Amino acid sequence: MANLKTEFAGIHSPNPFWLASAPPTDKAYNVNRAFEAGWGGVVWKTLGEAGPPIVNVNGPRYGALLTPDRRLMGFNNIELITDRDLELNLTEITDVKRNWPDRAMVVSLMVPCEEKSWKAILPRVEDTGADGIELNFGCPHGMSERGMGAAVGQVPEYIQMVTEWCKQYSKLPVIVKLTPNITDIRNPARAAKKGGADAVSLINTINSIMGVDPYTLTMSPSTGGKGSHGGYCGPAVKPIALNMVAEIARDPQTAGLPISGIGGIGNWRDALDFIALGSGTVQVCTAAMVYGFKIVQEMNDGLSNYMDEMGFTSVSQIVGKAVPTVSDWRFLNLNHISKAVINQDSCIQCGRCHIACEDTSHQAITASKDGKRFFEVKEDECVGCNLCVTVCPVPECITMRDLPPGETDQRTKKPVSASHADWTTHPNNPMRTSTPA
Amino acid sequence: MTTQALAPGVIPGRLTPAQYAQNFCDAHAPLNLSQAKIEADRCYYCFDAPCQTACPTGIDVPSFIRRIADDNVRGAAHTILEANPLGGMCARVCPTEVLCEQACVRNTHEDKPVEIGLLQRYATDHFFNAPGKPFFTRAPSTGRKVAVVGAGPAGLACAHGLAQKGHDVVLFDALPKLGGLNEYGLATYKTVGDFAQKEVQWLLSIGGIEVRHNTQLGKDVALDTLVKDFDAVFLGMGLAGVNSIGIPEDNTSGIRNAVEFISDLRQAGDLSKIPVGRKVLVIGGGMTAVDAAVQSKKLGAQSVTMVYRRGAQEMGASGHEQAWALENGVHIHHWAAPKSVVSEAGQVTGMQFACMHLVKDSLKETGEHFTLEADLILKAIGQSFIAQPLGATVELQAGRIKTDEAGKTSHAKIWAGGDCRFGGRDLTVEAVEHGKVAALSIHSALSA
């Protein structure tokens, strides 16, 4: 078993898998069970300020996007921050941290955007023995209507201001949790860094409506005939999250800022994607809510076997490894040529590649040969778009072949060039520079 | 277990009521909602789908399966029934393993096709349980009259298609109930709940179809009269003759035609009234032989043996049907042909068989013989077309009616389809296609 120990913004955990601040981390009972199952850390469900706790609806809090086999693709919730008394939460956090000293205990916070509110709660959290705090600037439903959560996260100046207060009134590492409900994720990340944040975590959930009941024509799920947009998460949001993580990782202004990756992580492969794109730890919620806490064992085992196979001896060796491969479009090599290749031995003749290409792309796949059903790439039409690869139901049946320099591209009838040429110098680009970037 | 269970002779009531009920329930349980959704999700929605090509009626299989997955089960039923108005029965009786499911690309991928037949049944059952607004309505009357002879799958499909086009159809059948083999010729466990009649009622509900029961061509009505009185005639009377086993039977009791046995079972209100032997022999290797053998076993026969003169490969019954017989405890004896009936005091006690083999591709006796005990022998070596009522009106080919692709015979006003038409595989689904195509051809001839 590979060593999965992680150090993230000064917080140690036996593995990079943390439970995100969410229903599974709302009380000691759940968190104890999570630690027994092997989770490396938790971000305790968001605490609000002292006084009467918030209340939740008593109708459905969750909705889902399912496959016909009812596998969950996307998940949505309208649960608010903890609806339990602050004192009870603080007592439980203290007990749990004392009993699980090797696990990361991070406390999520959301109080009104006023200095005195933050000043009041921060010492209380520090007294629990917790390892860090996470600022919930992302919750997109309910709390945002009250000027908290995403309402703060959407204004970089507020992010910087609150982060500064937290650094001023607490010694604990500060992780700023970002909302994806914004046009450019780099701005809130830069603001967090300017405010002195030790790390950012992302993404929080995405504004979403799951659907409409076809027979009542009411929004679904609904509480008494009305629904409210919820936060969307689960496997479907992973690509959105990965892009935002990579944007922050490769932004010169935030590069090196620790990132805790969140969004649709259900297995070690998902976690690896986040880690390679710059995340030092990952946070999980939906997968645990679907399968229970045991799922972390498969994540740990998968990552460990991968590391052993690849010769990595610590997670930190993988963090950010793929970031240099993420580029602006304009720097992509336009001289590179790929063509699809269909392996006739594994082709099952479903014809999906043909119809996808024929109807919606480049008419580059045959449907028949000598009067028989036969699917083959027409290299003189193929632009290497990868659509056929994505629609083929057979693993590895269609692959992309990179044409070596010198080979003639049958579509353009020109030999493939060994040199790099991108949009920045392309003759069709009115803004081109004279020399390659 | 009853006291009669192992009694010798051909007697009814070998089983308890609970055993009859269990043995004759649905042979293949229908899919429930979850099963249907999961199975539908397996369909790849292939381009120019091989399953659709393999279906004799050309059902757009990917579309109907997609509609099940999309919670549009009514739409799925519409897709099926517009290509095959008897799609409900075909979902029950089609040898899908040699038709649509054999063509499924999942065979190549994982050796397990999508369960197209069961999904088709799911969709059509859903529709027939609560049909709602009719899918197909009758066009304004054309005033043209068409006689359809035989209310089996071919005749019903033809009548329905003609009625839809606004023609006035008179549907003749020799028997008291409509449906042909669907009503009289299929194993009881293949079509439970009187589905055949439910389907017939739905087909007739389109309107414009007048039914004449108990009216046999050549006996109660002449072909010449039909040709004279109607604008067109469709012949779909199936195969009324039963092939002989080619050895003397001498009025021995305990030997009968499998088709009659199967028909008795289908028409029985109470299966405990159907007599069956303790030791049953079924002569033949087709679907009828399997239906007779398995049902004998299910009626409580102690041993049932199918005897077929060639090997498993040559049997008319599909591999799936043969497996079904074996699974139900039927023995299959290959390479043996009836030699003589063994009897005592006019009652069958067994049959002597000649061992067979191929000599230069020709079937010959080996010279060896053996005898199997039996108190009931069911003959199932095929049915034949009785052409006598046609006289010289239409041309025949190999004993059946010669037609073109559209079902047109040598007579300008007569079309034919189903098992009585030359060149088919004697499948229900093919008969439906014959009827469907002939209706279109008749319509175009009458509209010219």
Interval B307-353: pLDDT, tens: 999 999 999 998 999 999 999 999 999 999 999 999 999 999 999 99
Task: Determine the pLDDT at residue B50.
Answer: 97
Of A135-144, A267-276, A407-416, the one with minimum mean pLDDT is A135-144
- CB–CB of B393/B227 below 8 Å? yes
pLDDT in tens, B5-53: 889 999 999 999 999 999 999 988 999 999 999 999 999 999 999 999 9
pLDDT in tens, B200-221: 999 999 999 999 999 999 999 9
Q: Which of A67, A373, A394 sits opposite B41 (nearest CB)?
A: A67
β-partners of residue A261 are: A202, A282
Pick the more confident residue, A150 or B83: B83
Kindly tell me if the per-residue pLDDT of A437 is higher than 80.
no
| Residue showing tokens 């047109």 | B408
Q: Give the gap in angstroms from C-alpha A106 to the nearest C-alpha of chain B.
A: 41
- CB–CB of B310/B289 below 8 Å? no
Q: Looking at residues B185-193, what average pLDDT do you find?
A: 91
- In chain A, residues with a C-beta closer than 8 Å to the C-beta of B69 are 68
Q: Which of A68, A352, A355 sits opposite B69 (nearest CB)?
A: A68
Following DSSP, what letter does each residue of B57-119 receive, concatenated? T---HHHHHHHHHTT-HHHHHHHHHHH-TTHHHHHHH--GGGTHHHH-THHHHHS----HHHH
Task: Determine the pLDDT at residue A264.
Answer: 98
Q: Which of B41, B50, B108 sits opposite A69 (nearest CB)?
A: B41
Please name the residues in contact with B98: beta carbons below 8 A apart, sequence gap of 6 or more.
B318, B320
E-strand stretches of B247-392? 255-257, 279-283, 303-307, 331-333, 336-344, 347-359, 362-373, 376-379, 383-384
Residue of B nearest to A358 (CA): B47
Q: Given an 8 Å threshold on Cβ–Cβ distance, is A348 in contact with B106?
A: yes
pLDDT in tens, B127-146: 999 988 889 999 999 999 99
> Which of B393, B385, B380, B389 has its CA nearest to residue B424?
B385
pLDDT in tens, A403-415: 999 999 999 999 9
pLDDT bin (cut points 50, 70, 90) of residue A430 is very high
Q: Looking at residues A122-126, what average pLDDT do you find?
A: 98
Q: Looking at residues B279-295, what average pLDDT do you find?
A: 96
Kindly tell me if the per-residue pLDDT of B158 is higher than 70.
yes
| Residue showing tokens 């950010």 | A320
Q: Given an 8 Å threshold on Cβ–Cβ distance, is A352 in contact with B44?
A: yes
Following DSSP, what letter does each residue of A230-260 receive, concatenated? EEEESGGGHHHHHHHHHHHHH-TTTTT--EE
Residue of B nearest to A70 (CA): B38
Phi, psi of B195 (to 5 degrees): -60, -35
Count of CB atoms within 10 A of residue B417's CB? 33
pTM for the whole structure: 0.91
Greatest Cα pair distance, chain B, in angstroms, is: 68
- Taken as a whole, chain B contains a residue count of 448
Please name the residues in contact with A196: beta carbons below 8 A apart, sequence gap of 6 or more.
A163, A164, A167, A174
Q: Which of B34, B49, B108 sits opposite A348 (nearest CB)?
A: B108
Q: Give the gap in angstroms from C-alpha A290 to the nearest C-alpha of chain B.
A: 19
Residue of A nearest to B109 (CA): A348
Residue of B nearest to A355 (CA): B47
Contact B370/A at CB under 8 A = no
β-partners of residue A232 are: A76, A206
pLDDT bin (cut points 50, 70, 90) of residue A436 is low
Q: Given an 8 Å threshold on Cβ–Cβ distance, is B47 in contact with A352?
A: yes
CA distances from A227 to A77, A142, A207, A221, A329 (A): 11, 12, 13, 6, 40
Q: Given an 8 Å threshold on Cβ–Cβ distance, is A354 in contact with B47?
A: yes
- Round the average pLDDT of chain A to a whole number and report it: 96
Kindly tell me if the per-residue pLDDT of B187 is higher than 60.
yes
Task: Determine the pLDDT at residue A142.
Answer: 80
Q: Give the gap in angstroms from C-alpha B68 to the nearest C-alpha of chain A.
A: 10
Kindly tell me if the per-residue pLDDT of B3 is higher than 80.
no
Measure the CA–CA gap between B259 and B220, rounded to whole angstroms.
23
Catalytic residue set of A? 139
- In chain B, residues with a C-beta closer than 8 Å to the C-beta of A355 are 47
Measure the CA–CA gap between A13 and B252, rounded to whole angstroms.
90
Measure the CA–CA gap between B60 and B297, rounded to whole angstroms.
38
Task: Determine the pLDDT at residue B418.
Answer: 97
> Which of B437, B440, B433, B438 has its CA nearest to residue B84?
B433
Portion of chain B with pLDDT greater than 90, in percent: 93
Query: What is the value of ipTM here, to two decimals?
Result: 0.87
pLDDT bin (cut points 50, 70, 90) of residue A427 is very high
Q: Which two tokens stand for residue B44?
A: 């790849």
- In chain B, residues with a C-beta closer than 8 Å to the C-beta of A67 are 41
- In chain A, residues with a C-beta closer than 8 Å to the C-beta of B108 are 348-349
Task: Determine the pLDDT at residue A217.
Answer: 97
Kindly tell me if the per-residue pLDDT of B283 is higher than 80.
yes
Task: Determine the pLDDT at residue A434.
Answer: 72
